[in-house]
């Protein structure tokens, strides 16, 4: 159904094209103009002898026909020759047919040459002749020659079409090749092995000598349409992934630092098809439309420094204990001491905070896993940065009096799942 509609459309467009070609031809060749003239039996066109010669030469093989169109000459006043034409149709013998030859082999005859030409164009059109990115041509040499009609039976356009496109069974000569099998021979005619065997029941390639000639029955197109199509495709380029080791992450953990993005490239391909079957493909050019973004993945190298036991963060004097204080709650233990004294991590872990934190002043928070965190507040300065992995006893900050503080001390806090708990059970 789809095919029929497409053919119908192609036929319409082709008629237009053929008419156009005809008009152009007529414009150039006055001698042919009379061929399609319906009414006038005689028409006089004034041309010089030189023009006439050129016109007839340009017509090439149709020169012969031109000689039969009844020229009559009369001298005019200005020295040119006035030529009277008689329409070709009236002079052409009616007992002449147009014969289609494919690679010299006669396919059939018709009395409607234009319809046959149109039929051939339709076959090309079905293979994309009218598409702007496609060129089509017959592989075989196609000729239409005029022959006397005696003894010739004309064919309908449907018959032509069926033979040309392989819908009609025909007998072809075949020379046995090396390695021929029933399947390979069937395929060489574009046929299924089963259908081929059905109409060649006795054919067995093994029964022949190499190069021996036989005859086969086939449903195979008489003409081969070579189609060259240029298509443009887009294809994704997968992004690459690079891994970067970092000691700021635990061994066995990974984190995407930069999300990868696929790129895109465009390539122009020339596809050659024979009767619709791809036979060759080559890339004409390609260009990158978008460069892929490399995915960066951080991979931890640091063994977990968590010991599960705790050391004193700073051996100062306890100036304020954990618990109720001034009607409120003191969430940690304060150890007072000289400004600038080193504060150490009471257990190994990862620094998850190292910055100013409101009333805590300069503060370091270390994550020890299992929901356990330690806080070191009011520091004068910090010795670590967020993300850093520290060992137990490593200097992380210095004693100060930043935030809400009345003198240099280290406010030490232990939190379980975010809630402050009494640090003493953890400390030695």
Choose the binding region for Zn ion from 49-57, 263-271, 394-402, 405-413 (rule: CB under 5 A): 405-413
CB of 427 to Zn ion, least distance (A): 15
For Zn ion, give the closer residue by CB, 35 or 334.
Answer: 334
Structure tokens at 128: 């994309």
CA distance 185 to 179: 10
Task: Say if residue 312 is exposed, middle or buried (CB neighbours under 10 Å; 0-12, 13-18, 19+).
Answer: middle
Choose the binding region for Zn ion from 104-112, 224-232, 363-371, 411-419 (rule: CB under 5 A): 411-419
Q: Which of residues 314-353 bind Zn ion (CB under 5 A)?
A: 332, 334
Q: Partners of 295 in the beta sheet?
A: 241
For Zn ion, give the closer residue by CB, 313 or 332.
Answer: 332
Choose the binding region for Zn ion from 107-115, 198-206, 253-261, 404-412 (rule: CB under 5 A): 404-412
Q: Is the Cβ–Cβ distance between 146 and 93 less than 8 Å?
A: no
CB of 360 to Zn ion, least distance (A): 9
For Zn ion, give the closer residue by CB, 196 or 360.
Answer: 360
CB of 377 to Zn ion, least distance (A): 7
DSSP string computed for 129-176: TTSTTEEEEESS-EEEEEEE-TT--B--HHHHHHHHTT-S-EEEEEEP
For Zn ion, give the closer residue by CB, 344 or 377.
Answer: 377
Task: Give SS3 for 52.
Answer: helix
- Total residues in contact with Zn ion, by rule CB under 5 A: 3
Measured in degrees and rounded to the nearest 5, phi and psi for residue 306 equal -70, 125
Choose the binding region for Zn ion from 145-153, 184-192, 228-236, 408-416 (rule: CB under 5 A): 408-416
For Zn ion, give the closer residue by CB, 368 or 411.
Answer: 411
For Zn ion, give the closer residue by CB, 206 or 326.
Answer: 326
CA distance 343 to 394: 8
For Zn ion, give the closer residue by CB, 350 or 374.
Answer: 374
For position 411 contacting Zn ion by CB under 5 A, the verdict is: yes
CB of 410 to Zn ion, least distance (A): 8
CB of 331 to Zn ion, least distance (A): 7
CB of 319 to Zn ion, least distance (A): 8
CA distance 424 to 306: 18
188: left (phi over 0), alpha (psi -120 to 50) or beta: alpha
Which residue is at the shortest CB distance from Zn ion?
411
For position 413 contacting Zn ion by CB under 5 A, the verdict is: no
For Zn ion, give the closer residue by CB, 6 or 325.
Answer: 325
CB of 395 to Zn ion, least distance (A): 20
CB of 407 to Zn ion, least distance (A): 11
For 334-366, give one letter per residue: b (16+ CB within 10 A) or e: bbbbeeebebbbbbbbbbebbeebeebbbbbbb
DSSP string computed for 182-224: HHHHHHHTT--HHHHHHH-TT--GGGS-TT-EEEEEE---SS-
Sites of contact with Zn ion (CB under 5 A): 332, 334, 411
């Amino acid at each position: 159904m789809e095919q029929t509609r497409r053919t119908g459309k192609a036929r319409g467009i082709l008629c237009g094209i053929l008419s156009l070609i005809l008009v152009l031809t007529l414009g150039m060749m006055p001698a042919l103009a009379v061929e399609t003239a319906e009414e006038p039996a005689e028409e006089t066109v004034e041309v010089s002898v030189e023009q006439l010669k050129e016109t007839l030469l340009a017509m090439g093989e149709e020169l012969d026909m031109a000689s039969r169109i009844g020229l009559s000459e009369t001298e005019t006043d200005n020295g040119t020759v006035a030529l009277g034409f008689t329409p070709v149709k009236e002079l052409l013998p009616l007992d002449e047919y147009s014969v289609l030859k494919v690679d010299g082999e006669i396919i059939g005859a018709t009395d409607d040459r234009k319809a046959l030409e149109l039929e051939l164009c339709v076959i090309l059109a079905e293979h994309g002749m009218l598409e702007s990115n496609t060129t089509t041509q017959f592989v075989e040499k196609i000729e239409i020659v005029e022959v006397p009609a005696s003894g010739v039976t004309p064919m309908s356009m449907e018959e032509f079409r069926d033979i040309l496109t392989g819908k009609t069974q025909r007998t072809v000569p075949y020379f046995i090749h090396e390695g021929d099998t029933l399947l390979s021979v069937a395929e060489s005619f574009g046929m299924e092995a089963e259908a081929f065997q059905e109409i060649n029941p006795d054919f067995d390639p093994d029964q022949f000598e190499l190069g021996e000639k036989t005859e086969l029955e086939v449903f195979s197109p008489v003409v081969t349409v070579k189609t060259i199509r240029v298509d443009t495709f887009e294809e994704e380029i997968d992004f690459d992934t690079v891994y970067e080791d970092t000691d700021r992450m635990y061994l066995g953990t990974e984190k995407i630092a930069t999300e990868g993005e696929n790129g895109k490239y465009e390539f122009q391909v020339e596809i050659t098809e024979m009767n619709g079957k791809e036979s060759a493909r080559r890339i004409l050019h390609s260009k990158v439309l978008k460069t892929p973004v490399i995915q960066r993945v951080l991979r931890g190298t640091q063994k977990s420094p968590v010991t599960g036991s705790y050391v004193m963060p700073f051996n100062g004097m306890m100036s304020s204990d954990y618990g109720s204080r001034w009607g409120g709650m003191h969430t940690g233990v304060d150890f007072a001491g000289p400004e600038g004294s080193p504060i150490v991590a009471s257990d190994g872990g990862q620094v998850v905070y190292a910055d100013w934190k409101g009333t805590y002043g300069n503060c370091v928070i270390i994550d020890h896993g299992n929901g356990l965190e330690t806080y070191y507040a009011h520091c004068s300065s910090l010795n670590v940065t967020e993300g850093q992995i520290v060992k137990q006893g490593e200097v992380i900050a210095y004693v100060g009096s930043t935030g809400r503080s009345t003198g240099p001390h280290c406010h030490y806090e232990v939190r379980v799942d975010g809630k402050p708990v009494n640090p003493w059970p953890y400390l030695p």
